[in-house]
Structure 1
Amino acid sequence: MGVVGRFIQCALYSGTFASSVYTLHWLQNDFVTPISQSYGSHFQFVTILGLTFTGIAQLFGLFGVLSGIRSFRNIKAYMDLIAAPLEVLISVGYWGIVAYDRKLLMDPEIAPIPPLMFDIFLHALPAVSEIIDVLVFAPRWTKSYEVLPLFFAVAGGYWSWVHLTFEKNGFFPYPLFAIVDTPGRAGIFTFATLFVSVVYGLLKRLQNVVRG
């Protein structure tokens, strides 16, 4: 990759990392809500967990480009397997459900609507950044059969975490989880996991189209 390519790559990684840090700082310090003061704070939301994970991945990517150390690039590549499909799920799921009924995702009494700029930083920018990175800069994704267990493991981890916060707080971060029963929530998690797997496959195909 030439100098211009590395410059663009650094700009992408540093910009995404900076926006992630700025958004997390704003959430913790300036967006005080009932949910931010409950157990788990904003990290009850998969959006915030994804934003944090993506920000760390981009930081490793920046270290890899600037230092040339392969280990940083390898860590970034493995993190992208989760970050890219997850951010697409977050973006598509959020804007799709918001278009139908925002109250399914956000109870205004415990989690008010964020300003538009931060809404974009949370629910659009990370997905766009990850898609560009995977299609243009990331190593090619060559395997498909190993990712589904990984995605189910991530879903299982979030399932355990969100139910732990429910036990502590007496409410779910997403009102949708309270509307359905346990089998219903299991169905939502299963669908989301399969959706992420489909996104992975689509991004893998698009890599081949973009790079030839």
Structure 2
Amino acid sequence: MHPLQRVASPSRGLSALIHMLGMVSFMTSFSYLHLFPRELHLGFGGAFKFLTIIGLGLALVTFAVALLADLILSPSLFRIKNVLSVCSAPLAVLISTLYWGICAINKNLVVPPDMAIPVLPDVGFHAMPAIMLTLDLMFLSPPWTVKGYGAMTISTTIAFFYWGWVELCFSKNGWYPYPIFDILNTWQRVLLFTFSALLMTGSTMALKWVYGKINSIEKFKKDALRPLKDE
């Protein structure tokens, strides 16, 4: 256990329980896709045309590695989980922020009218990954060492990789997974994905600040507020 870590992890106790609950939530969401297929889940890319499903998949892999580390008490797998968390946690927070923020303006921009889902599955897709990954970070993980430029590089890579993936899927299917892409021109999409990269970078720094706040580490709070200092 890292000296700055709140709860012992990997462990077969509370850590394993939290990771198991997270996996159950994520797998339930994937089961919902399987049990209630929608037309937009067909075609090239399948359900992974959606950033939500990519984030959900990454969250599932992160927690699967974490649970395995708990069960066999493996420090190596625990380190792999922490590396995955640097990508999966900020991405989950980004997805939740964008989804619920856009829904507050106009839900039809991200959810076609014929794809509306009940509240509980909606929360499972668009809130639970962020909640569980943040819980894992705050109490079951050592402090992140990623700095501002590193977070920005990771966020920009993910944002523009997804844009390329969306355009590839569009070239094969002839339609975009999210209605908002249909109303934006190329330069507007550049701005959207640039904004998303900046928002994900901000999510990384915000998580780092909250970690410092909860664990009483002033240095992490200061580093998060001035992410480019000393880089």
Q: TM-score if structure 1 supplies the norm length?
A: 0.93
Write out aligned runs for 1:69-148 (5 A).
69-109=74-114, 112-144=115-147, 145-148=149-152
Q: d(CA) in 2 for partners of 1:143 and 1:87?
A: 17
2:195 to 191, 198, 204: 191
In the alignment, structure 1 segments of 5+ residues that lack a partner are none
- Aligned AA (2:119): L
User: What secondary structure does 2:41 align onto?
Assistant: coil
Q: Which of structure 1's runs of 4+ aligned residues deviate more than 3 A?
A: none
Larger deviation: 118-127 or 33-42?
33-42
Q: d(CA) in 1 for partners of 2:146 and 2:37?
A: 43
Q: d(CA) in 2 for partners of 1:33 and 1:155?
A: 25
The 1:90/1:79 distance shift into structure 2, 3 A limit, reads: same
The RMSD of aligned alpha carbons is 1.6
Shift of 1:108: 2.3
Shift of 1:189: 0.6
1:135-179, Cα deviation, whole Å (9 max, x unpaired)? 111110123132211221111221111101111111111111110
Shift of 1:204: 0.8
1:5-54, Cα deviation, whole Å (9 max, x unpaired)? 85222121111112211211220x22221112222122111000000100
1:65-103, Cα deviation, whole Å (9 max, x unpaired)? 221212211111011111111111111111111111111
Report the count of equivalent residues.
Answer: 208
Shift of 1:2: 5.3
User: What secondary structure does 1:146 align onto?
Assistant: helix
- The answer on 1:9 being equivalent to 2:15 is yes
- Aligned AA (1:121): G
- Aligned AA (1:68): L
Q: d(CA) in 1 for partners of 2:35 and 2:200?
A: 32
- Aligned AA (1:116): V
Q: d(CA) in 1 for partners of 2:168 and 2:32?
A: 25
Which residue does the alignment assign to 1:18? 24
In the alignment, structure 2 segments of 5+ residues that lack a partner are 1-6, 217-231
- Percentage of matched positions with identical amino acids: 31
Which residue does the alignment assign to 2:206? 202
Write out aligned runs for 1:25-44 (5 A).
25-27=31-33, 29-44=34-49
- Aligned AA (1:64): A
